Amino acid sequence: MAGLRDAKLLGGIGAILAIFPYISIVGYALILVSLKFISDETKKNSIFNNALYGIIFIIIGVFLTFYSLISLGFSFFLIFTIPFFITAIIASAILLIVGVYFFKKSLDETGNTLKVSYFKTAGLLYLIGAILTFVVIGFVVIFIADIFLIIAFFSMPEQYSPPVKTQT
């Protein structure tokens, strides 16, 4: 069974790879595996489930964005394509923001469980960046969120000590 040491290493490497275009998908896959390890170690399934839902929504949103851009480029009848394009872009924006919201919930739960506040900061910056991406400055905010995620993973403890329940 993989522990927090493996999650720390995989998550840190994944967060570094997430910065670079074209290989960022590998980075996010490693982050997802790392969050699964953390979820298993801490017995909190919501960490992995929220991250998985978030990644699924994000993938669908990115696919819809690319599909709408490609269909706009190959269309001969712009009068029919423009309404589809606008609808698809709005739908993909909603899917991306919902996906990042689920990913933020996962990072918040991870930060609260492991007592590493950088996870919560990264999650908040991802959400702000996703909203501001349509104004272009969001990409800078997402880059900063990636840096916070790198710091968060490498700041994790290597062993998890569950909170002690006191009897009253």
Per-residue pLDDT, 134: 80
Q: Mind listing the pLDDT tens digit for each residue in 126-138?
A: 999 999 988 889 8
CB 40 within 8 A of CB 1: yes
Residue 83: predicted pLDDT? 78
Which of 112-142 are b and which e, b meaning 16 or more Cβ less than 10 Å from the residue's Cβ?
A: ebbebebbbbbbbbbbbbbbebeeeebeebb
Only one residue has tokens 């490693």, namely 30
Can you say how many angstroms the Cα of residue 91 is from the centroid of all Cα atoms in its chain?
Answer: 18
| DSSP secondary structure letter of residue 135 | G
Residue 1: per-residue pLDDT: 56
The pLDDT tens digits of the residues spanning 104-120 come to 999 999 999 999 999 99
Q: Angle, nearest 10°, between helix axes 4-17 and 24-42?
A: 160
Classify 164 as helix, strand or coil. Answer: coil
Distance, CA of 107 to CA of 17 (rounded, Å) = 18
What pLDDT, on a 0 to 100 scale, did the predictor assign at position 40? 92
pLDDT value of residue 158: 85
Q: Which residues of the chain have pLDDT under 70?
A: 1, 73-80, 167-168
* CA distance readout (Å), 61 to 44, 87, 117, 134, 162: 27, 12, 28, 14, 36
Calculate the CA 102 to chain-centre distance.
8
What per-residue confidence (pLDDT) applies to 96?
92
